[in-house]
Amino acid sequence: MSLVNKKGVVIRNIPRSTTDVIKSFARAGVATTHEAFHRQGLLDARIRPIQKSVSIAGNAVTVLVTPGDNWMFHVAVEQCQPGDVLVVAATSPCTDGFFGDLLATSLLAHGVRALIADVGVRDTQTLRDMGFSVWSRAVCAQGTVKETLGSVNVPVICGGVLVVPGDMIVADDDGVVAVPHALAAEVLKKAQARAENEETKRQRLAQGELGLDIYGMREKLREKGLCYYDNPGDIEP
C-alpha cells in the first residue's frame, strides 16, 4: 500500500544517516551531490533560499499539510531529532505563510536548523537573524489555521520530487536535492570522488590550461564540423 500523501498518519520511526554522513553531504553541496546521483533528485528551482551562503544537509522528516493549514507543523516537531530537516508539501499548491519564527524556535529547541517548504513562509528577517535556514516556494505574510489533518512521515512530493522520510536532504544557494536513504552512502562516495577530481581541474584551469585540452575536446569539435579562420574574409561563400 502506498502511503504517498496519505492523510491522518504519524509515523514515529524513520531511518536516519549519521552525523558524519550529514556533515559530509553539507560539505559536498547540492551541485556535486546532484551530479553524483546521476542528475536526479533536484527539487524545482522555484524553491529558493531566504538566506545566502548557507549549506546544510539532514535527514528528512516529512510533513503533509492541507492548503492554508499549518497544524501538522506542531505535530511534526515532536517527531524531530538533531540532524533532521523538515520537508513540507501541501496536498495542492498553496503559498500562504505556514511557518515563521515561532515554529522555528520550537524546531531549534529540538535540534532542527532547516526547513524545506513547497509552501510559503513568513517572518523571514527574524528567521535569518536566528540562523534558521529556509528554502521555500514563497514568502508571504498570509496566516494559516489549525483545523485539518495532514500527516507526518509519509512520502510526499516536494518541489516535484518524491521525498521519503529519512532521505538525505542537501540544500545551499543553488537549491535543494534529495537522495534516497538507502543510496546515501554510495552517492556520498561518488560526490567526494567528484569533488577531488574537480579540485585537480580547478588547479589546472587556474594555471591557464584550456578546458579544450584538459577534456580532450578538440577532436570531437572537429568531427562536429567546427572550423577556425583567421579573418571573416577567409570563409568561402
Ligand X SMILES: O=C([O-])CC(=O)C(=O)O
Residues near Mg ion (CB under 5 A): 100, 123
What is the smallest separation between the CB atom of 102 and ligand X, expressed in angstroms?
3
Between 37 and 99, whose beta carbon lies closer to ligand X?
99
Amino acid at 215: Y
Q: Which three cell numbers stand for residue 45?
A: 528551482
Residue whose C-alpha cell reads 578546458 in the numeric block: 211
Between 123 and 172, whose beta carbon lies closer to Mg ion?
123
* Partner from Mg ion, ligand X, none binding residue 168, C-beta < 5-8 Å depending on class: none
Beta bridge partners of 161: 158
What is the smallest separation between the CB atom of 142 and ligand X, expressed in angstroms?
10
% helix, strand, coil for the chain, step of 5: 35, 25, 40
Q: Which three cell numbers stand for residue 208?
A: 591557464
- Could you give the CA distance from residue 163 to residue 178 in angstroms, rounded to a whole number? 7
What is the smallest separation between the CB atom of 91 and ligand X, expressed in angstroms?
18
Between 86 and 170, whose beta carbon lies closer to ligand X?
86
- Could you give the CA distance from residue 80 to residue 84 in angstroms, rounded to a whole number? 6
Between 143 and 160, whose beta carbon lies closer to ligand X?
143
* Partner from ligand X, Mg ion, none binding residue 133, C-beta < 5-8 Å depending on class: none
- Could you give the CA distance from residue 197 to residue 99 in angstroms, rounded to a whole number? 40
By beta carbon distance, the residue nearest Mg ion is 100
Q: Which three cell numbers stand for residue 159?
A: 518541489
Residues lying near ligand X in the complex (CB under 6 A) are found at 70, 99-103, 122-123, 143-144
By beta carbon distance, the residue nearest ligand X is 100
Between 28 and 104, whose beta carbon lies closer to Mg ion?
104
